[in-house]
Amino acid sequence: MSFLRKPLYQVWLPRDFYDDASRRWPVILFLHGAGERGGDNLVQLTVGLAPHLPQLKPPAVVVFPQCPAGQLWTAQPQLDRAIAALDDARSEFKLDDDRTSLTGISMGGAGAWALAAAHPDRWSAVAPICGWMEPIQPLPDVPYRIFHGDMDPVIDVEQSRRMAKHLGKRAEYTELEGVNHNSWDPAYRDTDLVAWLVAQRRR
């Protein structure tokens, strides 16, 4: 398993990625939070999903684009940037279009909601963590898992509650008791979220 640095993003490959040239791999697109914005194409690996990959070892490719400083994932140019990174990875690595999931944290959680709405035919599953969506837009008919700390002082937990209520049976909502803004570490580390993302297949 390793990270490879590409012009638009970083990509994590499982240890046995090159063992079977015919295998098509699930892919997870991860959108980082506001604190990891920039132009170094490195800091997006320091918070969120990437630090947990050595322990989780998911049988999937994970794509990590970076949002420029001062920008938001919810803006159209940055949604385009995220999709461009995913498409670039698709052009180089054998990825399974029917097992393409999306997750993000905080600003990236909002980006995950926005990207799901903007490209509804791309995803097998979506997992926003402590994100928001204003206003609520039509979303694809895929399974969702939503996480939020009930003590979050940055993004009101009500944002995730209302999204879970809006989605109804399509969403599994986990509210983490006593957890502040960092709900991503327990979500990625202490639940089966990543394995669940890998297992989902587009209908």
Residue closest to 196 by CA, chosen among 64, 85, 56, 65: 56
pLDDT (mean) for 164-192: 98
DSSP state of 97: E
Asked if 147 contacts 194 with a C-beta cutoff of 8 angstroms, the reply is no
- The predicted pLDDT at position 62 comes to 98
What are the tens digits of pLDDT across the range 11-54?
999 999 999 889 999 999 999 999 999 999 999 999 999 999 99
**7 band by pLDDT with thresholds 50, 70 and 90:** confident
Give residue 141's domain range.
2-199
Task: Label residues 114-139 b or e (16+ Cβ within 10 Å = b).
Answer: bbbbbbeebbbbbbbbbbbbeeeeeb
Q: What is the CA radius of gyration of the chain?
A: 15
- CA 121 to each of CA 46, 72, 108, 142: distance values in angstroms, whole numbers, following the listed order: 30, 22, 19, 10
Asked if 102 contacts 116 with a C-beta cutoff of 8 angstroms, the reply is yes
**1 band by pLDDT with thresholds 50, 70 and 90:** low
pLDDT (mean) for 80-86: 98
pLDDT (mean) for 169-185: 98
Joined together, the tokens standing for residue 50 give: 């990437």
- The predicted pLDDT at position 121 comes to 97
CATH code where residue 136 lies: 3.40.50.1820
Number of domains in the chain: 1
Q: How many residues does the chain have?
A: 203
- The predicted pLDDT at position 181 comes to 98
Residue closest to 111 by CA, chosen among 91, 90, 83, 70: 83
Residue closest to 113 by CA, chosen among 148, 149, 73, 81: 73
